[in-house]
């Protein structure tokens, strides 16, 4: 689930701006980038940003922050409702004080801590809708299955019970976790999403529990772990089924004691968080002790929520199509096109192995590539249904993906790379971890290539 807040990053460093955008677009509905104050002013004439990350130095050789302070003053005068987080590579206390005096909501130095930055933006932009309103507005669908899911969320959200969310890839498990958080008494506290499948085993403890300065060679400062960053709120452990058994033992110890010990510290720290976790593993796999610790499972599954696959509430497909087509038409400033009943019927018969995520991406493609007054089935790019074993077939030889004959006009390196990535995503039904493994890439590298090719 994405926060509805709209963000703007103003930074002349392309690498820094890209890193921030890739991090934030996983958590917020819209993230824009401007590389200079002038570009930001032009963008803000038509874009209302809820939160702005503002760099302080733009001209080469300048480190006094004067350009950033001038831009901050402009923002306070012309866009007073936008929350501004000042950021600089120079940990200059007087500059931080000057920024705060001019109206900056907060201050962060580069390189930033991802968890802290997310918590900071969330606390500045988070609104507190009623739980029923939030679930109704975000978990779309009039089917009996979706109504039952929303009713279940409304019942359990106000409690402190740990929740385990089960469901296939792309069904919206993080959306459900967000709805639980928004319906709870902790709604004003942080919601910290952690992709457990993306955490290397070697850095698991430092990422979850933090570390102290000097704990290892590169530990130049204290670092807060994800559990500490979520203090008082909800920590969402996504893809919990991908956590190795050794990591499961460490997580279990933290949950049992309700405390964590940062690496390099002899002092434990109490944690007061609600744990919501999610996995696409089957319950048969979850109860296999060789795959997942039973004692940890019992800590996580006080309440189990099963999110239905799209095929289980196919009657909601027309509503979802209409919602996402309108969303991307507005996002890309594209004209509204008619969706004939015959096209809707054909899309309703499609298997949608990637569930709502696949439908959402198909709608985005149709909006971008559609040229006629009405959408055609071809605009959605649904050439075939991946085999039902795609989710688990991560050992497929990558050569099988690229060995298909390519038309002459597609024999360009970038086109081949894009098609290879798209085929890998199709074979894994959108599972990023499995697709990255299939392609021989890290998840971070895969995200960069997705961004590069606009996938």
CB 190 within 8 A of CB 230: yes
Q: 126 pLDDT band (50/70/90 cuts)? A: low
Distance separating alpha carbons of residues 66 and 63, to the nearest angstrom = 8
Please check whether residue 153 is in contact with residue 276, taking contact to mean a CB–CB distance below 8 angstroms: no
Confidence at 424, pLDDT banded by 50, 70, 90:
confident
The length of the chain is 455
Task: Report the range out of 64-68, 184-188, 305-309 with the highest average pLDDT.
Answer: 305-309
Strands (E), 317-383: none
pLDDT digits (tens, 9 = 90+) for 354-385: 999 999 999 999 999 988 999 999 999 986 55
Report residue 8 as tokens.
Answer: 């703007």
Question: Which of 1, 50, 47, 40 has the alpha carbon at shortest distance from 17?
Answer: 40
H helices within 163-286, ranges in order?
Answer: 173-182, 204-209, 226-229, 245-257, 283-286
CA distances from 447 to 58, 77, 180 (A): 27, 37, 28
140-175 pLDDT tens trace: 888 999 999 998 998 899 888 999 999 999 999 999
Mean pLDDT over 393-415 rounds to 48
* CATH code for residues 131-306: 3.40.50.300
C-alpha span between 213 and 1 (Å, rounded): 34
First to last CA, the chain: 19
Domain 3-125: which CATH class?
A: alpha beta
CB-CB contact of 196 with 243 (8 Å): yes
Burial grade of 252 (CB within 10 A; 0-12, 13-18, 19 or more): middle
The CATH 1.10.8.60 domain(s) of the chain lie at 312-380
Band (pLDDT 50/70/90 cuts) for residue 403 is very low
Asked whether the predicted pLDDT for residue 296 surpasses 90, the reply is yes
Output the CA torsion sign for 140, 143, 149, 155.
positive
For residue 94, give the H/E element and its range.
Answer: helix 93-101
pLDDT for the residue 417: 76
Give the fold, CATH level 3, of 312-380.
Helicase, Ruva Protein; domain 3 (1.10.8)
What's the confidence (pLDDT) of residue 37?
92
Q: Could you give the CA distance from residue 127 to residue 236 in angstroms, rounded to a whole number?
A: 19
CA gyration radius for the chain?
A: 23
Rounded Cα–Cα distance for residues 417 and 449 (Å)? 9
């Amino acid at each position: 689930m994405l926060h509805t807040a709209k963000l703007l990053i103003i930074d002349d460093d392309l690498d820094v701006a890209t890193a921030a955008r890739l991090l934030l677009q996983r958590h917020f509905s819209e993230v824009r980038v401007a590389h200079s104050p002038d570009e930001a002013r032009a963008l803000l004439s038509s874009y209302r940003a809820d939160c702005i990350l503002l760099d302080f130095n733009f001209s080469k050789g300048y480190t006094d922050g004067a350009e950033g302070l001038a831009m901050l003053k402009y923002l306070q005068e012309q866009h007073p409702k936008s929350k501004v987080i000042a950021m600089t590579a120079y940990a200059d206390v007087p500059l931080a004080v000057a920024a705060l005096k001019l109206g900056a909501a907060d201050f962060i130095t580069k390189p930033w801590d991802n968890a802290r930055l997310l918590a900071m933006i969330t606390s500045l932009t988070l609104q507190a809708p009623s739980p029923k309103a939030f679930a109704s507005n975000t978990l779309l669908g009039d089917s009996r299955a979706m109504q039952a899911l929303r009713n279940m969320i409304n019942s359990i959200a106000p409690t402190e019970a740990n929740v385990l969310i089960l469901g296939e890839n792309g069904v919206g498990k993080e959306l459900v976790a967000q709805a639980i958080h928004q319906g709870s008494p902790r709604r004003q506290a942080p919601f910290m999403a952690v992709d457990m499948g993306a955490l290397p085993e070697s850095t698991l403890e430092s990422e979850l529990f933090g570390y102290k300065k000097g704990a290892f060679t590169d530990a130049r400062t204290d670092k807060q772990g994800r559990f500490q960053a979520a203090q008082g709120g909800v920590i969402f452990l996504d893809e919990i089924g991908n956590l190795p058994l050794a990591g499961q033992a460490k997580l279990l110890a933290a949950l049992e004691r309700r405390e964590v010990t940062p690496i390099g510290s002899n002092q434990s720290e109490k944690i007061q968080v609600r744990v919501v976790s999610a996995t696409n593993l089957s319950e048969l796999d979850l109860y296999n002790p060789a795959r997942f610790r039973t004692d940890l499972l019992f800590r996580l599954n006080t309440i189990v929520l099963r999110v239905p696959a799209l095929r289980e509430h196919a009657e909601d497909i027309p509503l979802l199509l209409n919602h996402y087509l309108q969303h991307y038409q507005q996002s890309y400033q594209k004209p509204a096109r008619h969706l004939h009943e015959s096209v809707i019927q054909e899309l309703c018969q499609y298997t949608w192995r990637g569930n709502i995520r696949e439908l959402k991406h198909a709608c985005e493609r149709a909006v971008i590539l559609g040229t006629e007054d009405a959408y055609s089935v071809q605009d959605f790019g649904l050439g075939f249904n991946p085999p039902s074993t795609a989710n688990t077939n991560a050992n497929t030889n990558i050569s099988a993906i690229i060995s298909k004959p390519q038309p002459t006009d597609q024999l360009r390196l970038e086109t081949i790379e894009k098609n290879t990535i798209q085929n890998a995503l199709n074979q894994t039904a959108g599972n990023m971890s499995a697709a990255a493994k299939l392609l021989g890439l890290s998840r971070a590298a895969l995200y960069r290539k997705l961004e590069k090719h606009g996938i």
